[in-house]
Amino acid sequence: MRAAAVALACLLAACSPRAGEAPGPRFREAAAETGLDFHHFTGATGKFYLPEIMGSGVALLDYDGDGDLDVFFVQGAPLDPGAPLVFPPPAGFKPGNRLFRNLLKETGKLRFVDVTEQAGLASTGYGMGVAVADYNNDGHPDLYVTNFGSNVLYRNNGNGTFTDVTSDAGLAAGGWSTSASWFDYDQDGLLDLYVARYLDFTVRGNKDCFTPAGERDYCSPKAYKGLAGKLYRNLGNGKFEDVTQITGVGAVSAPGLGVRAADFNGDGRPDLYVANDGEANLLWLNSGGGTFREAALLAGAAYSADGVARAGMGLAVGDFDASGNQSIFVTNLTREGATLYRNSGNAQFSDSTMQFGLYLPTVPFTGFGTEWFDYDNDGRPDLFIANGAVTMVEALRGEPYPYHQRNLLLHNEGARFRDVSAEAGAPFALSEVGRGAAFGDIDNNGTLDIVVANNNGPARLLLNETKSPNHWLALRLGGVKSNRDAIGARVVAQRTGHPPLVAEVHTGGSYLSSNDPRIHFGVGDATAVSIRIEWPSGIREEWTNVRVDAEIKLIEGSGRRIP
Amino acid sequence: MAAGILRYNRVLNRACFVAAAAFLAACSKPGSENPPPLPKLQIERFKPQIRARIEEAYRAALARPDDAAANGGLGMLLQAFEQLESAEACYRRARAFDPGRFDWAYYLGLVQSQNGENAEAAKNLAGAIRIDPGYVPAKIKLAEVLLILGRLEESRQISEALVREDPRIAPAYYWLGRAAAARGDLRQAEQWYAQACEQWPSYGTAHYALALAYQKTGQTAEAQQHMSAYQKYQANGDPQPEDPKLEAVRALDNSAIAHLMRAVDLENAGQLRQAIAEDEEAARQDPNLVQAQANLISLYARAGEPEKAEQAYRAVLAVNPNLPQSHYDYGVFLVSRARFAEAEAAFRKAIESSPHYAEAHSNLGAMLERRGRMNEAAREYRAAIEDKPNFRQAHYQLGRLLLMDHKPAQAIEELRQTLEPSDEATPQFLYALGVACAEVHDFASARDYLRRGASQAQALGQDELASRIQGVLGRLEQSGGK
């Protein structure tokens, strides 16, 4: 009897990992059951217009300030109005971008309702991406939607509605915009905006492209010319100034898809990294004084180790190795593999993809949305990648939409990453055409969830149901002298017996998408941590003995000043 | 064999092969697994000519399902048209039926590597080398695949054996460097990369790796030097070991698209006549492959064949009247024939199809300027700059226009954007900037720009320009601008 009890105890122990250990991942797809009913429409008419295959983004934001994350999806549109559609939208389809309000706080149940029309967000453009931030420091997150065509800035009125202020703000950009990133490059407390732009493709100038066997397919970006990204300075009066030329970031015209601002060289100033499709990625180091210098080549962050430009799509920036440095992970094309640029400090990067075991799991897929996110709260940021091809997958030839692939979940085990997709639940068995992906704690349960925007298909909500004994801490920062969202603030969580966890407040990154602005730390077995924040204003503060497993708000100026 | 291809002695000293033998011996024996079924091909949408060839090979494989040559032949055809998963199945069958044949093991390893199945690729490449220990490309590929797999020591052994056998094999040094770098031994990596560059001075990839290694070890001047070499050669200058087996596969693709792709490579290599021949063949095979005709417009124009350039343009219009590049290239051609009004129309058509076509805006600006429509020209230059902020020629044109319009301060803003990078156009830009500075009585800057312009013009052999700049400098001195 005793032996049996011991055996049972061992079995139970084996099933329940202790704090600090890695529990098995478990995600559940819950879009339909929660009312997150969004189906992406490409407008495809058989002419293989390039925007049709590039997908769209998704944003997680608390637009109504009720304490839970709402979801905003960007939608496509017909590019060739009147032409017969290859994939007509499903019954009940509502055109245009969609805002879904999360009813969690008021009902206690995760449930979404479509509030697009009430919110004044109905649109008819061909949508690509979305970037969220409180650009006017009024306490309400605003939306910037990028398009194939003119972009739109929606100011949040604070009463559940938005107003299109693009014209006043001067942020239409034009051309084909993709990802955008809010950041305060001149550190004046006002959020500025970088808009990546892709190619000079036009519907009228569409080119016919073919597979090597002569089948019609989508063109490579090399069929068109890349466009320079745009940088806009926030003047603080609702208007923005186009500073692309005078800051220097217009010096390179390249097909930009992913962008993220972060302090890569530790000088306290936010830099920019742009993932380009088929051309050298760009690292714009902020020189101060309102200018940037491009430094990717000698920094080792332009190409993969073999000196070849990859098809950069989405990107994730974070301190995955507890070095305190912001490393970059870029998703690429099938047969290229993703690229991990490990930052050894001072913006010196090494292509460490193979060393960390990230080449072999990623090489069969074309990756898009991605982020470092600690799904099991063990203190080591893991990776999710939304995958989907851009040219026909050989094995899927004959299918109506032969571009689908499955997504990837890669567990950070310190020295290497392990592909845990097969054990992470049914969502990872789905094969779809993944594009945008946004990350955040949607059900406010202390684990990070994912929303995936699929191309020509339904959006997916991947609820993280990983049974983890590990602890966590969510931080909502409030800037006072700094921008109100504290975007760019460097946050350090110190735990006894472990290296510090470092993160920068951001919403951008991934692909065409915008993440939960809260900093989420998985802290393993720690039950209390110290928090140090370097605010964009330069103020440094500390909070000690912060209890975990909670969301706390830290306001600039409320902590203990440190040198 | 094309110029620039390394020729390696395939007859190797067997004794030198011992170092890697332990790994190779450990590899699985071929033919021990059941071959997969022939792949089910979905080729209805292939070009008819390609489809017919594949169908013929497929029928042969169906008729002789146990015949290695029939299966392997189909695999080669599928590989040529980048149907790599189907090709892999065919090669696996061929290898199972004829395990002693080098070709099937080698091809199988290659396509498995491309498909990301590197562990399997390593086994089959090693199997191929066991059959033909003298086939250098297989060993170079195996060194690469082992490195990808993190089997650094085995990769090192293969590469070391290669350089012992023939010290001229530059890629082997490169892979030795990569293995050393992966172990964290940057100093050793630097030495191997340097040897790769020494053996093959235009080895762009090795220069890149060496530059980054130097940068990380704080040797910034050396890093810059090798990064410049990389930028000069990129990966185009990499040594390609003679690989008749792979060439045999590539040669199977003589489709219109293959000719078009070869034309692009040849044009990039400056071989205009050969590029024209390839594009002509592509257009002959497939008159609807409009890109071939479109490329021919500028190729013929550059080769001094105006009638053919006209014909190519008309051929493009017949298939697709909206291709911006064809209108632009035709416009450039018309400018070279001094047919400015028609050129203006062509640039406008390019912009109609592609409103962000910076080069078309700039050239349209130049056409308008010729007709004295300065305001419209300035608007086009500004549109070009808006679309391409680093477009030096547009900045120059606009700056010059502003200078003529007695707006020297604004002109200086534009002309300052022209100075990076430094190249053969720079003296002209410095000249204009110097004149603009003189106009605002900033004589010190004017003298500086003009002197730099004169000196650079002289160094570049632009004697007439140097003389003109010297003339302006002289007048500046005489007028008392100090």
Domain topology for B14-183: 1.25.40
- Cross-chain Cβ contact B182/A355 below 8 Å: yes
Dist CA B55 CA A147 (whole Å): 44
Can you say how many angstroms the Cα of residue A284 is from the centroid of all Cα atoms in its chain? 19
- Shortest CA gap B340–chain A (Å): 24
- Shortest CA gap A468–chain B (Å): 31
Domain residues of chain B, as ranges? 14-183, 417-482
**Nearest to residue B47, comparing CAs of B248, B315, B257?**
B257
∠B299-B271-A216 over CA atoms, to 5°?
60
A chain contacts of residue B178, beta-carbon cutoff 8 Å: 305
Q: Which of residues 165-204 of A touch B (CB under 8 A)?
A: 174-175, 200, 202, 204
Q: Which of residues 181-210 of B touch A (CB under 8 A)?
A: 182, 204-205, 207-209
At A285 the pLDDT is 98
β pairing state of A550-555 and A471-478: parallel
CA atoms within 13 Å, Cβ hemisphere of A241: 11
Read off the pLDDT of each residue in B358-376 and give the average, rounded to a whole number: 96
Sign, Cα dihedral of A124, A125, A131, A134: negative
Bond into B421 cis (ω within 30): yes
Dist CA A540 CA A559 (whole Å): 9
Q: What is the DSSP code string of A271-292? A: EEEEEEBSS--EEEEEEETTEE
8 Å CB contact between A392 and A402: yes
Residues in Cβ contact with B132 at an 8 Å cutoff, skipping those fewer than 6 apart: B102, B138
What residues does A318 pair with on adjacent strands? Answer: A327
Residue A201 corresponds to which amino acid?
F
Q: Which of residues 216-255 of B touch A (CB under 8 A)?
A: 216, 223-224, 227, 230-231, 234-235, 253, 255
Tokens representing residue B101 in the block: 């044949």
B chain contacts of residue A335, beta-carbon cutoff 8 Å: 114-116
Tens of pLDDT, residue by residue, chain A (563 residues): 344 443 444 344 444 555 555 568 999 999 999 999 999 999 999 999 999 999 999 999 999 999 999 999 999 999 999 999 999 999 889 999 999 999 999 999 999 999 999 999 988 799 999 999 999 999 999 999 999 999 999 999 999 999 999 999 999 998 999 999 999 999 999 999 999 999 999 999 999 999 989 899 999 999 999 999 999 999 999 999 999 999 999 999 999 999 999 999 999 999 999 999 999 999 999 999 999 999 999 999 999 999 999 999 999 999 999 999 999 999 999 999 999 999 999 999 999 999 999 999 999 999 999 999 999 999 999 999 999 999 999 999 889 999 999 999 999 999 999 999 999 999 999 999 999 999 999 999 999 999 999 999 999 999 999 998 999 999 999 999 999 999 999 999 999 999 999 999 999 999 999 999 999 999 999 999 999 999 999 999 999 999 999 999 999 999 999 99
Class of residue B168 by CB neighbours under 10 A (exposed 0-12, middle 13-18, buried 19+)? middle
- Cross-chain Cβ contact B235/A245 below 8 Å: no
Dist CA A32 CA A42 (whole Å): 21
B chain contacts of residue A204, beta-carbon cutoff 8 Å: 322, 352-354
Please tell me whether residue B458 adopts helix, strand or coil conformation.
helix
Candidate from A305, A307, A394 with C-beta closest to B230: A307
B chain contacts of residue A387, beta-carbon cutoff 8 Å: none
Determine which helix (DSSP H) or strand (DSSP E) holds A317, and give its type and residue range: strand A315-318
- Choose, out of B41, B44, B46, the residue to mutate when testing the contact with A (most A CBs < 10 Å): B46
**Nearest to residue B150, comparing CAs of A115, A77, A356, A398?**
A356
Q: Is A355 on the interface with B (CB under 8 A)?
A: yes
Return phi, psi of residue B345, to 5°: -65, -40
- Cross-chain Cβ contact A398/B209 below 8 Å: no
Place of tokens 């300052």: B416
Dist CA A381 CA A467 (whole Å): 17
What residues does A329 pair with on adjacent strands? Answer: A316, A340
Place of tokens 């699985």: B28
Candidate from B81, B147, B209 with C-beta closest to A307: B209
Dist CA A511 CA A55 (whole Å): 9
8 Å CB contact between A23 and A468: yes
